[in-house]
Structure 1
């Protein structure tokens, strides 16, 4: 499968809302719900505007994963960026129709490159639930190391879930590379 990542834009609102809504049940099997308000379009638009303001301010990088036909098949982000320290937290979700087809594994190196080259990130953090084995495999495949386990960190569907915390150290762009960007 050929994919690319594109920066999130307001023009993506309707398509992204449809993607999130149609994959809601699938996502909520692996992560806590974003809540009922998130799935009301007016609220969704307000939240999208907030995300775009964060991105404009250089605090976060929000991307959409698109397939060869240009359809949204996932999201991948770096949030809580501290540009002075070169740190941020990644997160991603892939739609049910492409789950298990390597989409996150293809997109993650693209995001890592963008985070390092454009934003100077040298250490990224990620977390996933103990039951989300596919996400754990993607992180480990791309050089993230498990650094801690947070027991009973979240609860949904009547059960408590551990969070696994990962980090990845990345080489800082050389001065020559930084001048060319």
Structure 2
């Protein structure tokens, strides 16, 4: 994935959407729903991603109301955002509040919601320039204020992280 441009980010989001969707479509209903609130099923993961992707799309839709980040704030690469996220996870960061999943346990419903959240995110990126992605800030509950670009980097990594979680869960079954 070439995530260095707005178009590259849009392409990356579509690629992640298809990768996660293809994986989930290959699961049986029992595989999709096997899990608990403590040990998430793929249904839990997908619902959490829907709940996490949706506010990012909404924020991108109100760009003029997003604050500017300090010009001297360091701009991080995909790898740096990925490393910061993994560090926070290792330190115990986890989903809470509105980001906790309550899956419908219906693969078709969950997949439609998930895909819709990334489609909305992709659409809200229309008209954003590369400079604007680096100038506007968004709060992240575990990583602090990120530029819009960094939030999109996080979103891609977050979706891949939960795909890996789904895969690991099924390998343990």
What TM-score comes out, normalization by structure 1 length? 0.29
Which structure: greater strand fraction? 1
Which structure: greater helix fraction? 2
